[in-house]
Amino acid sequence: FLKYYVFKYHLKFFIKFCVVGLIASFVSYSVFFILYTSFFVYYIYASFFGNISGLSVGFFLNKTWTFKVENRSLFLLVKYLSFYMFSFALNVSILFLFVEYGKINPLISNVFSIGICAFVNFFGVKILVFKK
């Protein structure tokens, strides 16, 4: 019974986190796509601006809806941004490897990169940032 309760408790957060992740990823990829295809911005720069956009949406939704954290401290934002700096470095590294060494189109590579980072982000955000 206890295992079921713990699983159900964490599953609720994971599902909400995934919904927020999908929304943030959509925002991130949309900004990347528009900058890369319409404004011909270098794919690394386009990825940077896309990630910043998704990061902003993700922080707000995860704080207020997923984890319902009322802490308004600047330290919480700093922890979130610090973790996502790591996440951004991971995202850009994966993107670079797929594009430059795997010779995969940046539009496709960024989808894989975002997917890998989403999995890492759940555990980092839940354990390091929004722990209660």
pTM of this prediction?
0.72
Count how many residues are written for the chain. Answer: 132
Q: Whose structure tokens read 């601006």?
A: 49
Q: Are 113 and 25 in contact (CB under 8 A)?
A: no
State the first-to-last Cα distance of the chain, in angstroms, to the nearest integer: 23
Q: Are 86 and 120 in contact (CB under 8 A)?
A: no
Distance, CA of 118 to CA of 24 (rounded, Å): 10
Does the pLDDT of residue 13 top 90, yes or no? no
Does the pLDDT of residue 79 top 80, yes or no? yes
What confidence score (pLDDT) does residue 104 get? 96
Does the pLDDT of residue 99 top 90, yes or no? yes
- Assign 132 a pLDDT band (cuts: 50, 70, 90): low
Count of other CB atoms within 10 angstroms of residue 128 = 13
Identify which of 84, 79, 40, 96 has the alpha carbon closest to the alpha carbon of residue 58.
84
Does the pLDDT of residue 121 top 90, yes or no? no
Does the pLDDT of residue 123 top 90, yes or no? no
What confidence score (pLDDT) does residue 127 get? 87
- Assign 12 a pLDDT band (cuts: 50, 70, 90): confident
* Mean pLDDT, rounded, for 3-24: 84
What confidence score (pLDDT) does residue 109 get? 94
